[in-house]
Structure 1
Amino acid sequence: MSEPLFVETVLVPVDGSDESVTAIEYAVEIAEKYDAAVHVVYVLGEELVRGIETDTVDREAVASEAEAFAEAASETAAGTGVEVTSSSAYGFSRTQKTRHPGSAVLDCAEEVDADFLVIPREPSTDGPGDVLERAAEYVLLYASQPVLST
């Protein structure tokens, strides 16, 4: 017989998509059930990272969008007793060949000591913010934590 699931931190990667909002809702519900916290990580895809590095994308606008998602998560958790923290991560690097949106998610999971992951599994839309469709399969294959793919 397996032991019961113990969850202290639920990690939910987001990328600015509508599917990210749904994933936040699931993460908050899971955290509430297990009396856990939620950590939201805003994952920046290749197009945004390249744009920031070449100054063709406004870094402050991207930071504002990431903050808006963190605030949305806090609003979703309001009244539940679930604590929400947030960060952001580059899901692409021109200097690290192994940097991938999925590896960024798993690195963050390790950093925040996440016990459970909720990741949107989006259709491929080739939008500048929609990077998690590339990360979902990687996370499902390599995560050591339980994963809910929405």
Structure 2
Amino acid sequence: MSTPAPAEALEVDTVLVPVDGSDESVTAVEYAVAIADEYDASVYAVYVVGQDVVRAVEEGAVEADDVSSDSQSFMDDVAPIAAEHDVELRHSTAYGFSTTRKTQHPGSVVLDTADEVDADFLVVPREPMGEGGDVLAKAAEYVLLYASQPLLSV
């Protein structure tokens, strides 16, 4: 009887977590940091801006700088979670929708960002959240179906 080959160990250098400023996003960051800490990896958070906000920016009802400030404020709030575990936390902001690109939606933004930052693992908030309703819930459905990386849905 032959011995089965040992399973290849999972190597994780970057954990991607999409966020939207909600309490569920904070929980997702906590999980992402825990995984990064376990694998001596870093965390990359992408703040996904919802459809209502994107439209408001495009119509001039909301300033893009205000959206950027909200994103930065959220990241400042969760930075201590990563710092407590000595995990590097980087981030960016992305519009989850586009009025000019039909293929741009929250799920594609998450997967595109995962490719751009070479993420090895994804942590995706699954519950409906955010001011626009279900920005990251829509992303989670898509990411669960199409991600090539291992992922945790929280």
**TM-score normalised per structure 1:** 0.93
What amino acid maps onto 1:83 in structure 2?
Answer: E
Which one of 134, 138, 141 corresponds to residue 138 of structure 2? 134
SS across alignment from 1:78: helix
Q: CA deviation at 1:129?
A: 6.6
Q: CA deviation at 1:69?
A: 2.2
Q: CA deviation at 1:122?
A: 1.2
* Aligned sequence identity (%): 60
Distance 1:43 1:116 in 2: 18
Distance 1:129 1:76 in 2: 25
Match of 1:149 in 2: 153
Distance 2:130 2:90 in 1: 28
Distance 2:106 2:99 in 1: 13
Q: Is the radius of gyration larger for structure 1 or structure 2? A: 2
What amino acid maps onto 1:144 in structure 2?
Answer: S
**TM-score normalised per structure 2:** 0.91
Which one of 86, 90, 93 corresponds to residue 95 of structure 2? 90
SS across alignment from 1:10: strand
**Between Structure 1 and Structure 2, how many residues are aligned?**
149
Query: 1:43·1:90 contact (CA, 8 Å) conserved in 2?
Result: yes
Query: 1:77·1:84 contact (CA, 8 Å) conserved in 2?
Result: yes
What amino acid maps onto 1:20 in structure 2?
Answer: S
Q: Does 1:29 align with 2:34?
A: yes
SS across alignment from 2:77: helix
What amino acid maps onto 1:121 in structure 2?
Answer: R
Which one of 30, 54, 59 corresponds to residue 64 of structure 2? 59
Unaligned segments of structure 2, at least 5 residues: 1-5
